[in-house]
Structure 1
Amino acid sequence: FRKMDLFSRMQRIEFKAAELVEILKEQEFNYHRASKWMGDHTLFTIQVVVLYVVSIHLIKDFMRERVAFKLTLPIQIWNLAVALMSGVGAAAMTPEYISTWNNRGYDATVCSSREDFFSGTGGVAVFVLTLARLPEFIDTYFIVLRKRPLLFIHWYHHAFTLFISWYGYSNLLPCSRHAIYVNALIHTVMYSYYFLCSLKIQLPSLVARLITIAQIIQFCFIFYAVGHTTVIHYLMGKPCELHDESIVLTWIMDLSYLYLFVDFYLNKYNRKIAKEDEVRAFKRD
């Protein structure tokens, strides 16, 4: 009966838009209400991810024999919007992020004060940035409509991030503050770079390489945060605001992202350097 019930629920997409509007309209942000809303949409994220993965591959096949769209203006607007949203979000989170670390220590940033980070102006920023994981799928549709290479790392990263962000928001995982904050900083720089590129502004190739390195450092930073949380809670037995399933999913997310981004970096940049060295050697000969 449970399988039948799940199957029937999967056929219906439910999105509580009116409740979301009320949450965003409240004068004082209510994390518990926002958390419940996220928790109620766990199935929704799975449905959307399935539709996303299927649709991007269908569109890719559909575009195979067709002329690519340019989409210059929409891409410029999109990149600028994401850069601004990420920058404003990072600025809103900064006071609490730094204050907790300085005044209460690193353990507090990964194990407690969850309510502080998820409340007030910074809490609104966290909620909005978490919601934004859904429209970030637009990135992929730009890729397939423009007939650019669709990499596994790209759509896997978007799909898994949506699910774990919404699921983790509704469960206990204070160490996610590090992932959310650092990611907002990197997105600010990365989408600013994309915006400038979309304006045909020539930037040194080193910039793209440094952004990829920053993403890898981000996952190392998250790896340490999750590892630290795991050690002090499960091995040392210290009290920690933690949800077991969320910590497991975060481990899977971070390790897979770290592997994929390192592999991407090595394939893109090291092979390019090796090829350039071969060309130079050939010319010398």
Structure 2
Amino acid sequence: MEMGDSSAALMMSVPNYSYIFHFERDFEHMEIKPWFQENWSTIVSYCAGLYLLFIFCGQAYMAQRPRMEMRSILVGWNVFLALFSIMGAFRTLPEIVHVLSTQGIYHSVCIPSFIESDRVSGFWTLMFVLSKVPELGDTVFIVLRKQPLIFLHWYHHVTVMLYAWYSYSEYTAAARWFVVMNFIVHSVMYSYYAFKALKFRVPRSISMVITALQLIQMVVGCLVNFWVIQMKSNGLECHVSDPNIKFSLLMYLSYFLLFGRFFYYAYVSPSKRMMMASDSSKLLKQH
């Protein structure tokens, strides 16, 4: 089925929203697509380079200086990202639920109607992709507050940003799963950190739940890629490129191993539980 000949099928995938904001109604994906395809690689390359340079230079700068508390800024940062993620989850979840209930798995992983025919989901998908650049700011707090910067933190930030922008430039159909899952997990995670920054006593079991949600997210991400591979091997048209599948599968598998290792040492293995507990809040800042 050619993308240009599938408008009827695509329109069937649009849920009946109770309310649509003006900025969602005015969203035109075709006005964004050419610019994105032309500039995405240059922008994320510069951002990734500056990000890694900041980590190296920032840690060297702070080595002989006292840590910065930045508590009020940290509170505002986490509250903003929590509210943004909650809004994103509420605006994108109806689309995937509707598609699964009316069109099935094939449509959900192979047809990019969430961008091409749904202005609400399309707008919030773009916001999700763009947000991966300012979310690098998580690391600013870690460096300036002189907290341990673990491998998973910067590795995850860089690869998620690269993959999100790359996938949007191709209108990768399976990305609807990744966007919704990430918004949901971030809603819980940043809300947790907002309460922690506000000095609320949050049970440690909540951090375990967040890590478990992140592991589930990685498992589902791998399953989505396997579904795409199966669809394509069956000869069905699927709007996901082969390089994208390889990148995505490698990314989700590596995340699963890293988060799984943390979960084991933090909550299962008694010998290293105390050591890992002190770093749990830093690791939970990964997406």
Identify the TM-score tier after normalising by the shorter chain: 0.7 to 0.9
1:8 is aligned to: none
Separation in 1, partners of 2:114, 2:54: 39
Q: Secondary structure at the match of 1:147?
A: coil
SS of structure 1 residue aligned to 2:271: helix
CA drift of 1:117 comes to 4.3
CA deviation after TM superposition for structure 1 residue 237, in Å = 1.5
Kindly indicate whether the alpha-carbon contact (under 8 Å) linking 2:114 and 2:176 is maintained by their aligned counterparts in 1.
Answer: no
The structural deviation recorded for 1:25 is 6.7
Counterpart residue number, 1:248 = 246
Q: Pairwise mapping of residues 131-142 of structure 1 onto structure 2 (< 5 A)?
A: 131-142=130-141
State the one-letter code of the partner of 1:194: Y
| Deviation of the 1:38 alpha carbon | 2.4
Q: What letter matches 2:173 in structure 1? A: P
Which sections of structure 1, spanning at least 5 residues, go unmatched? 1-23, 278-285
Offset, 1:27:
5.4
Describe the SS at the equivalent of 1:229: helix
Q: Which amino acid aligns with 2:245?
A: I
On the 8 A contact 1:140/1:155 being kept in 2, the answer is yes
**What CA distance in whole angstroms lies between the structure 2 residues aligned with 1:276 and 1:55?**
31
User: Distance in 2 between the 1:253 and 1:36 partners?
Assistant: 26
Conserved? CA contact 2:266–2:273, under 8 Å: no
TM-score after normalising by structure 1 = 0.83
CA contact (8 A) 2:29 2:115 kept: no
Q: How far 1:267 sits from its partner (Å)?
A: 2.7
Letter matched to residue 142 of structure 1: F
Deviation string for 1:199-235 (max 9, x for gaps)?
Answer: 11111111101101100100101110111101120x2
Partner of 1:16: none
Establish whether residue 274 from structure 1 lines up as the match of residue 280 from structure 2. Answer: no
Following superposition, the deviation at residue 120 of structure 1 comes to: 0.8
| Paired residues of 1:172 and 1:246 also in contact (CA < 8 A) | no
State the partner residue of 1:124: 123
Match of 2:43 in 1: 44
Q: Which residue pairs with 1:258 in the alignment?
A: 256
| 2:158 pairs with 1:159 | yes
1:210 aligned partner: 209
Structure 2 residue runs of 5 or longer lacking an equivalent are: 1-21, 275-287
State the match for 2:142 in structure 1. 143
Residues 98/25 of structure 1: CA separation in 2 closer, same or farther (3 Å cut): closer
AA partner of residue 125 (structure 1)? W
**How has the CA–CA distance of structure 1 residues 230 and 77 changed in structure 2, closer, same or farther, with 3 Å as cutoff?**
same
Q: Could you list the per-position Cα deviations for residues 139-178 of structure 1 after superposition, in whole angstroms to 9, with x for gaps in the alignment? A: 0010010000000100110011111101110104211111
Q: Could you tell me the TM-score, scaled by structure 2's length?
A: 0.83
Residue matched to 1:237: 235
- Paired amino acid for 2:235: G
Deviations 1:238-260 (A, max 9, x none): 12112222222111211111111
Q: Percent identity of the aligned residues?
A: 29
Structure exhibiting the larger radius of gyration computed from Cα positions: 1
Aligned match of 2:179: 180
Contact 1:96–1:117 (CA under 8 A) maintained in structure 2: no
Shift, 1:116, TM fit: 3.4
Q: State the Cα RMSD in Å.
A: 1.8
Alignment-derived partner of residue 11 in structure 1: none
Shift of 1:276: 7.0
One-letter amino acid matched to 1:251: L
Moved over 4 A (4+): 24-27
